[in-house]
Homo-oligomer: A and B are copies of this chain.
Amino acid sequence: VGPEALLSWKSKRTFTSFGVFFLQMGWGDLGVFGEPSKETPNLDQMASEGMLFLDFYTANPLCSPSRAALLTGRLPVRNGFYTTNAHARNAYTPQDIVGGIPDSELLLPELLKKAGYTNKIVGKWHLGHRPQFHPMKHGFDEWFGSPNCHFGPFDNRALPNIPVYRDWEMIGRYYEDFKIDLKTGEANLTQIYLQEALDFISKQQASQQPFFLYWAIDATHAPVYASKHFLGTSQRGLYGDAVREIDDSIGKILKHLQKLGISENTFVFFTSDNGAALISAPKQGGSNGRFLCGKQTTFEGGMREPAIAWWPGHIPAGGVSHQLGNVMDLFTTSLSLAGLQPPSDRQIDGIDLLPAILQGKLIDRPIFYYRGNEMMAVRVGLYKAHYWTWSNSWEEYSKGIDFCPGQNVSGVTTHTQEEHTNLPLLFHLGRDPGEKYPLSFASDEYQRTMEQISVVVQQHKVTMVPGEPQLNVCDKAVMNWSPPGCEKLGKCLKQPKSDPKKCFWPH
């Protein structure tokens, strides 16, 4: 497809809606990426009708920071979704987190709103659960879902069960009003989230308003669940059942867009917030295919994500792109599609992917792999340089916490934080996508490549202005004891005395 595709779309554009499916699924969980059970016919079809991204990354190997990065277009180290409590630690937003998304950050829905978009989040917000962080204070017009992961059930004394919100107020709690049976794995949640998406799309279509639907549901995060209809239907066990239900739901949403005749006005993107959590495998964990390790790590298994762009009539069917992409690009790309400019008063890390998607261009840009406050690695072209390596600590590993089960690459999957800044470990991801064979330090290829990469890294580091870290302080008093709306439901709980502490982040 030539530049005329982009031009013709720009000239005849009225408006383009967006759907973003943002889930926790590993690269190797999709049939189209080689999952041997091949149980994702709808995602596979989405890929065959759209464009598959093979070199697409998340901004962080953990959920909250990735979600903050997608919605701000900025690295977590800039938007505050990281910790300085210890070096290179993953942090997120459990119930006792005091911080959340700062008001100073401009979120995608805030910007789209100015262009007349209606924005809805279905699923896990994860950018802070205290009142000032509410998604509807940050540009969303509607919300159905929860602020935190669906861990539980809790006893409502030491820990409250996680609330589920409709818009401004809670309407119940997980395990109490929204059942999850941990024994059988049955829960109807994905069906509820599906219906929310379908209804929202119908409403927007009826009112002819452009929309941004952010479908960021909890599944397949552990504890894994699926609804009755899907239980026991996968070769892969409960995790596979959950994947099949999500796949089915995405198929239904796409078909709904087509049925309503708005698929050519709706840009849809599917990707994931981090690699599959191998720690939960085999029963509750997915697959990162042949990539090294998983969630929590800055190896490819932790951060390379399945990614599909779908926009019938615009994106050529069956396309494949090697563009280095990042979830932060969805921010800039969506703005571009809406005819908006990204904010110019701050560093935006996301790039506009439209030239890659519509014209097949390859835009030169690096990928940075952060763990907390540390740039662990960088990818430039096909090369990836590790400046730091760490899987997890010996202490955690000896407890059975293993982010790389069955994998052990000497000097690479280290259980102490190893610094390589003077002589980074360099991999060629084309010949060695599994990060098993570091290039010889003495080789010409190493010397030549590191010269290029060093410039990119230096440029990145000297211009880096880290944001105020939001994930440092934890306090039991801020938990979801009495979310707005709890009174009407008689679900307010007694809040313990405030006792702020440094959060402990072991990974």
Give the interface of A toward B (CB within 8 A).
27-28, 32-38, 52, 54-55, 234-237, 239-240, 281-283, 287-290, 292, 304, 320, 322, 382, 405-409, 428-434, 436-437
Chain B residues closer than 8 Å to A437, beta-carbon distance: 281-282, 405
Q: Report the minimum CB–CB distance from A127 to chain B (whole Å).
A: 31
CB distance from A433 to the nearest CB of B (A): 5
Residue in B236, B281, B289, B406 whose CB lies within 8 Å of A408: B406
CA of A407 to CA of B406 in the docked complex: distance in angstroms? 6
Q: Is the CB of A235 within 8 A of B289?
A: no
Q: Which of B282, B290, B430 contacts A290 (CB 8 A)?
A: B290
Residues of B within 8 A of A428 (CB): 237, 282
Most buried by B among A38, A235, A281, A406: A406
Chain B residues, CB < 8 A from A27: 34
Known: A36-B54, A36-B304, A37-B433; 7 extra A-B contacts, CB below 8 A, are A28-B290, A281-B432, A282-B432, A287-B434, A289-B290, A290-B290, A407-B407
What is the distance, in angstroms, from A307's C-beta to the closest C-beta of chain B? 12
Q: Indicate which residue in B33, B235, B288 contacts A430 across the interface (CB closer than 8 Å).
A: B235
Residue of B with least CB distance to A48: B48
Find chain B residues with CB under 8 A from A33 CB. 34
Select which of B240, B289, B432 is within 8 A of A289 by beta carbon: B289
Pairs across A and B, CB under 8 Å, 27 listed: A28-B34, A28-B290, A33-B34, A34-B289, A34-B290, A36-B304, A36-B433, A38-B52, A38-B54, A235-B322, A235-B382, A236-B430, A236-B431, A237-B431, A239-B431, A240-B430, A240-B431, A281-B437, A282-B428, A282-B432, A287-B290, A287-B434, A292-B406, A405-B436, A406-B407, A406-B408, A408-B408
User: What does DSSP make chain A's interface, helix, strand, loop or mixed?
Assistant: loop
Most buried by B among A52, A287, A290: A290
Determine the chain B residues whose CB is within 8 A of the CB of A240 once the complex forms. 430-431
Instruction: Give the CA-CA distance A409 to B431 in the complex, in Å.
Output: 24
The docked-state distance in angstroms from the alpha carbon of A287 to that of B433 is: 10
Work out how many copies of this chain go into the complex: 2
Q: B283 touching A431 by the CB < 8 A rule?
A: yes
Contact partner, A37, options B54, B239, B283, Cβ 8 Å: B54
- Most chain B Cβ neighbours within 10 Å, of A32, A234, A289, A409: A289
Question: Across the two chains, which residue of chain B brings its CB closest to A321?
Answer: B38
The distance in angstroms between the C-alpha atoms of A292 and B289, with both chains bound, is 11
Smallest distance from the beta carbon of A215 to chain B beta carbons, Å? 25
- How far apart sit A433 and B407, CA to CA, in the bound complex (Å)? 14
Residues in B neighbouring A287, C-beta threshold 8 A: 290, 433-434
Q: Which residues in B have their C-beta under 8 angstroms from that of A283?
A: 431
Residues of B within 8 A of A434 (CB): 287, 406
Residues of B within 8 A of A290 (CB): 28, 34, 36, 287-290
Give the docked Cα–Cα distance between A36 and B52 (Å). Answer: 11
Minimum C-beta distance from A6 to chain B (A): 24
> In the complex, which residue of chain B has the Cβ closest to the Cβ of A434?
B406
Closest chain-B Cβ to A237's Cβ sits at a distance in Å of 4
The 7 A-B pairs at the shortest CB distance, nearest first, are namely A34-B34, A235-B430, A406-B436, A237-B431, A282-B432, A408-B408, A406-B409
How distant is the Cα of A54 from the Cα of B36 in the complex, in angstroms?
6
A63 to chain B minimum Cβ distance, whole angstroms, is 23
Q: Which residues of B contact A406 (CB under 8 A)?
A: 292, 407-409, 434, 436
| B235 lies within 8 A of A436 (CB) | no
Contacts of A382 in B (CB 8 A): 235
Question: Min CB distance, A55 to chain B, in Å?
Answer: 8
**Alpha-carbon gap, A32 to B428, bound state (A):** 22
Bound together, the chains give a CA A35 to CA B437 distance in angstroms of 18
Shortest C-beta distance, A38 to chain B (Å), equals 5
Q: Kindly list chain B residues whose C-beta atoms are within 8 Å of the C-beta of A235.
A: 322, 382, 430-431
Highest count of chain B CB atoms <10 Å: which of A55, A282, A432 = A282
**What is the minimal beta-carbon distance from A157 to any residue of chain B, in angstroms?**
34
Q: Cβ of A304: which chain B residues have Cβ within 8 Å of it? A: 36
Report how far A434 CA is from B434 CA in the complex, Å: 14
